[in-house]
Structure 1
């Protein structure tokens, strides 16, 4: 299929994507089939190829429709961005992952952080280190007003008192420097209680809580040091948090593996617990383990994403909506071209800081010595590494340069690429294929609801309704 056009069928619709302009078209069967031949065949040849299926006048009309879309820059649009030099010289550090705990009260089997210690000693960040990290972020953010700090681990609630001290310090320094700091936190919810729920709701713009889904699925992977499961402990706490959270941002995030390829059941299970904001992600594992996702699983995974899209629509129409992270897509605005070409900004817009005051490009690179950028005292000293992240974009990756989804995924995750292929610029093929299927379904859902007459931010409206139930 042409790299300048992508088409697929989903939710009963024929959908055509023009990657460069971002235009999305819902077309009839004739136009859909004409597109297979449009670029490389004459009008007469196309008519001859399709005459046994459609009337000649219908084929010619469809060709004219495609001509018009192309003429208006809405289909087969030339990629004008590949020859544009995108400078990141003006980039500043605007977000920090603060690893306040290199320790955890769980021993999740798929943990990228080696069950919380990041391949090092188990330790908690002290206030002084956190204070220096916040000062570093404020100084490194330049003139940017809005910055972010995500408290991460391990399990950050093992160090809750320091978290609270750092939030107060951050607020004070933000005021002094005319900054606005958004605080977020990621937790496994085991230590969640009424005090922490209240504190989260007063101080954190977003909260991410971990749950893999059904009890038997969750307790197979998310276990304590003694091997016991966590479902029965955390589910009531998550439900209480969600009810208290109201309309404020949060996610309940899970991971699916080869052990639960029917992961749609886990998404729906979480939704049935009263959770609205859900993200269930594929595990990333290079080694051949019993839970590793492999290419042979892709057809089943695609079926599940398609089934989830259908269930998403069905529940929406029944007044029982839920939001799935990967089905959210902005077709009108979205990231600027710099973000579309380069992605997350790891290493030059986003960093992670450890209890030992070390700086890494992101939390998933922590503990890998070759990715150490510097320290809080010395600053970023590995300029060559930072430049490597800064200069990476989709056109430097052959697999991305001609991919229809390149402006939606921005080349995928640096860390996943490295963990699987040993190179931040060599895309992780399995993740690419899954991402493209998710993007297709996100576009299909948006198209379906638009044709139905939904206007505005329907996801926000439904979220607010859910919060008020």
Structure 2
């Protein structure tokens, strides 16, 4: 009998994660030991009274999965024709900075800077394509990306006008990710007029930011950004309040200084800040984070947990980790549904490629999002001239098929975080690369479930 579950022990209690119901069961020590003996082959399942009792209530049943297939597979053409949620236009591959960890920096195997700009004809075709394939949505989202997108501000202006002309009364949200160095008065007035959601890449105080985010001449960009932000705050105070910031955490930077800057600086103390660890995938050199970085980050996360338990006030929690609360709540509510798994399912990692945030580069090639490699043929899911390559989209959606034998019997199936990017072999989807990431994905899944168990037993209600 093939019953798939995972034991979880906390300092106080014992739990079993039942994959067949995507549910966590609290058990006593004797039950836990007996179930572990079954899993380890030391006890036959038909001899277990504990197993018999749980199966009577619909849990810990034999694995029913016989096929790995994404549930949206048969509706794929419909989604691609009617439900594109967001369009991201790469309006330029140029940039006025040379950030060392940027995916275009040359330190990655994925892409480099170029002098290419998107022309208006390509942008119009991309917008038309998006509008025609989003008819099920009342709200449209068009984002502008680079390089540094504000180097091609005139194209952005034309695109905004064109979207308004073609959207036929539907609500439109515009967004842009920028390095913040080109936010002059005319540009800011334009962005404010059209209610842009603006995210600025800013890594912390001058010392941390200028370590990596430099102009082409090697000079740091921090002071220029600060001057722009002070002017925006003075002349456009309401618009300023809505700007968000993305901080890339680097191994050589002082995490405490970054925290102090975003939490205490007179400009940004009340701003929304999102953090990302510097991307290690395809990086040509290894990265290592210091022990100090890890300790401070873990302490901040502990305070987040104490806040969720009602032991600390929200203002005592670093805003650099506060955003993670919603992800914990989402995971908890998923496992409380206790839905039966059925015979066909798919690992939880991939979105429907192209529908979540379709990325169109300067040459009109289409990709699932802006995070995948533009130099990888396997990640190009079509072109504006020919539309989506349904076969390629389907292969990315069903990335679990290349490890079907493993996925069918993996306890972490529902909690897998691997999208097709992890299997990008450039000219093929690589089983070897995907399998290489499995231990990391399963390790994260285990820690996430254990965290939920501990929070629950300590009194967290998981109420938003």
Alignment correspondent of 2:351: 344
What is residue 92 of structure 1 aligned with on the other side?
80
Please state how far the C-alpha of 1:153 moved relative to its aligned partner: 1.0
Please state whether the residue corresponding to 1:280 is helix, strand or coil: strand
CA 1:285–1:92 in 2, change beyond 3 Å: closer, same or farther? Answer: closer
Instruction: Give the match for residue 276 of structure 2.
Output: 280
Q: Where does 1:433-444 land on structure 2 (aligned, <5 Å)?
A: 435-436=441-442, 438-439=444-445, 442-443=448-449
Does the 8 Å CA contact 1:327/1:441 hold for their aligned counterparts? no
Q: How does 1:34-73 map to 2 (within 5 A)?
A: 35-39=35-39, 40-42=41-43, 64=50, 69-73=54-58
Shift of 1:79: 5.0
Distance of 1:406 and 1:146 partners within structure 2: 33
Q: Residues 147 and 180 of structure 1 are in contact (CA less than 8 Å); yes or no, is this contact kept in structure 2?
A: yes
By how many angstroms is 1:36 displaced?
3.1
Greater Cα shift, 132-141 or 364-373: 364-373
Kindly tell me: are residues 256 and 31 of structure 1, through their superposed partners in 2, closer, same or farther at Cα, counting changes over 3 Å? farther
DSSP-derived class of the 2:141 partner? strand
List per-residue Cα deviations over 1:73-108 (Å, max 9, x = no partner): 455673547466742343316132210121112111
Q: Write the distance in 2 (CA, Å) between the matches of 1:402 and 1:24.
A: 18
Superimposed CA distance per residue, residues 242-283 of structure 1 (whole angstroms, 9 cap, x where no aligned partner)? 9857997x75333345545x8687567645553444232342
22 and 391 in structure 1: CA distance in 2 versus 1, 3 angstrom threshold? closer
CA contact (8 A) 1:298 1:434 kept: no
| Number of the residue aligned with 1:462 | none
Q: TM-score, normalised by structure 1?
A: 0.70
1:78 aligns with 2:63: yes
Residue of structure 1 in register with 2:209 after alignment: 218
> Of the candidates 338, 359, 364, which is equivalent to residue 357 of structure 1?
364
Give the Cα–Cα distance (whole angstroms) in 1 for the partners of residues 255 and 148 of structure 2. Answer: 25
Distance in 2 (CA, whole Å) between partners of 1:397 and 1:148 is 35
**Which is further off, 163-172 or 219-228?**
163-172
CA–CA separation in structure 1 for the residues paired with 2:54 and 2:292: 35
Q: How many residues align?
A: 430
Contact 2:349/2:416 (<8 A) preserved: no
Cα distance, 1:339 vs. partner?
8.3
**CA displacement, residues 320-372 of structure 1 (integer Å, 9 cap, x when unaligned):** 24324597141325999988656122256653212233333433332445654
Distance 1:80 1:157, change over 3 A: same
SS of the equivalent of 2:424 reads: helix
**Distance verdict in 2 for CA 1:287–1:85, change over 3 Å:** closer
What's the offset of the Cα at 1:210? 2.1
1:309 matches 2:301: yes
Structure 1 residue 135, shift from structure 2 partner: 0.3
Which one scores higher on RCO, CA 8 angstroms, separation ≥ 6? 2
C-alpha separation in 2, matches of 1:196 and 1:26: 57
Give the aligned partner of residue 132 of structure 1.
Answer: 125
Alpha-carbon RMSD: 4.9
Match of 1:328 in 2: 327
Q: What residue is the counterpart of 1:24 in the other structure? A: 24
8 A contact 2:68–2:401 mirrored in 1: no
After TM superposition, list the pairs within 5 Å mapping 1:18-417 onto structure 2: 18-25=18-25, 35-39=35-39, 40-42=41-43, 64=50, 69-75=54-60, 78=63, 80=65, 82=67, 86=71, 87=74, 88-92=76-80, 94=84, 95-114=86-105, 118-119=111-112, 121-141=114-134, 143-175=136-168, 179-192=170-183, 203=194, 207-213=198-204, 215-234=206-225, 244=238, 252-259=245-252, 266=258, 270-271=262-263, 274=269, 275-286=271-282, 288-289=284-285, 292-293=286-287, 306-314=298-306, 317-320=312-315, 321=317, 322=319, 323-325=322-324, 328-329=327-328, 330=330, 331-333=332-334, 341=348, 343-347=350-354, 350-363=357-370, 364-368=372-376, 371-376=379-384, 378-380=385-387, 382=389, 384-393=391-400, 396=403, 400-410=407-417, 412-417=418-423
Call closer, same or farther: CA 1:381–1:27 in 2, change over 3 Å: closer
- Residue 43 to residue 207, structure 1, CA distance change in 2 (3 Å): farther
Partners of 1:447 and 1:201 in 2: how far apart?
Answer: 45
Deviation per CA, 1:211-238, whole angstroms, max 9, x where unpaired? 3346544332222212233344446767
> Structure 1 stretches of 5 or more lacking a match?
47-59, 459-469
Task: Measure, in 2, the Cα distance between the counterparts of 1:172 and 1:277.
Answer: 34
